[in-house]
Structure 1
Amino acid sequence: MRLANGITIEKEETFGTLLFSALRREVREQNGDGTPSDVIRERTYDLKSRTQGRMIQVSIPASVPLRDYAYNAEVDMVNPVVNTIAHVTFGNHADVDWYIKADDIVLAKRDGAQGSGQPAQPRRDAQPDKKA
């Protein structure tokens, strides 16, 4: 069983501050004989979630370039969706696995930062300070 469109979440309330940890794994497509191919389908990263109080894993498509941010760099997920997959077990019960997918993982945009690790550029329309 899967949810049709996943669960859209409020990122800040659910995860709080996210810190980059590392690439966890690359999922590869399979050849016709069932062996892994050289084609990467998605990458899963470990992120530290302050609100959850633990590491979470987030998968992004392989079409996004490899993310190799500094350890503990503050990051943000682009369009995260939480989904589940259930496995029927003995006695009409089910085990449910949760997973998170996002369109990308980018450096966080915080006060005065543009998300690139560079300080914000001054606005061109800003007026100089008037001296009294």
Structure 2
Amino acid sequence: MRLAQGIVIDKEKTFGLLKFSALRREVFLQNEDGTVSSEVKERTYDLKSREQGRMIQVSIPASVPLKEFDYNAEVELINPVADTVANATFRGADVDWYIKADDLVLKGKAVTSGGNATKAAPSKDK
């Protein structure tokens, strides 16, 4: 069972300040015969979340280039969505939550339509 479109997340309220930790794993596509191919499907990164008070894992599509930010660099998720996978058991169901995003960029950078990061305009707040 899955939520139809996932749950759209308010980034600031849910995660607060996010800091980059490391690439956690790469998920590879499977060949028709069931063996693992060399083509990456998605990459999962460990991020420190101030609001959650712990490390979170976020999956980014493989179409986005590998992220190699400095440890503890402030980052921002682009279009994060939380979703679930539920598996029926004899006593009910086991539910796993996961977070996916379109991209992961350094804080203060904006993503252009071509997917390249550019410096965001300075804030006018005083």
Q: TM-score range by the shorter chain?
A: 0.7 to 0.9
2:70 is paired with a residue of what secondary structure? coil
Amino acid at match of 2:103: D
Structure 2 counterpart of 1:88: 88
Q: Tell me the residue number matched to 2:113.
A: none
Opposite residue 99 of structure 1, the aligned amino acid is: Y
- Cα distance in 2 between the residues matched to 1:23 and 1:101: 14
What's 1:103 paired with?
Answer: 102
Q: Percent identity?
A: 68
1:52-95 per-position Cα deviation (integer Å, ceiling 9, x unaligned)? 0111000011010000000000000000000001011113x111
Q: Secondary structure at the match of 2:51?
A: coil
Unaligned 5+ segments in structure 1 are 122-132
SS of the residue aligned with 1:96?
strand
- Equivalent-residue separation in structure 2 for 1:9 and 1:80 (angstroms): 6
Q: Match for residue 46 of structure 1?
A: 46
Counterparts of 1:9 and 1:43, CA distance in 2: 20
Deviation at 1:12, TM superposition (A): 0.3
AA in 1 matched with 2:9: I
Where has structure 1 moved over 3 Å in runs of 4 or more?
A: none
- Equivalent position SS for 2:52: coil
Q: Give 2:23's aligned amino acid.
A: L
Using structure 2 for the length normalisation, give the TM-score: 0.86
Query: In the aligned structure 1, how far is the partner of 2:22 from the partner of 2:35?
Result: 26
Partner-residue secondary structure (3-state), 1:60: strand
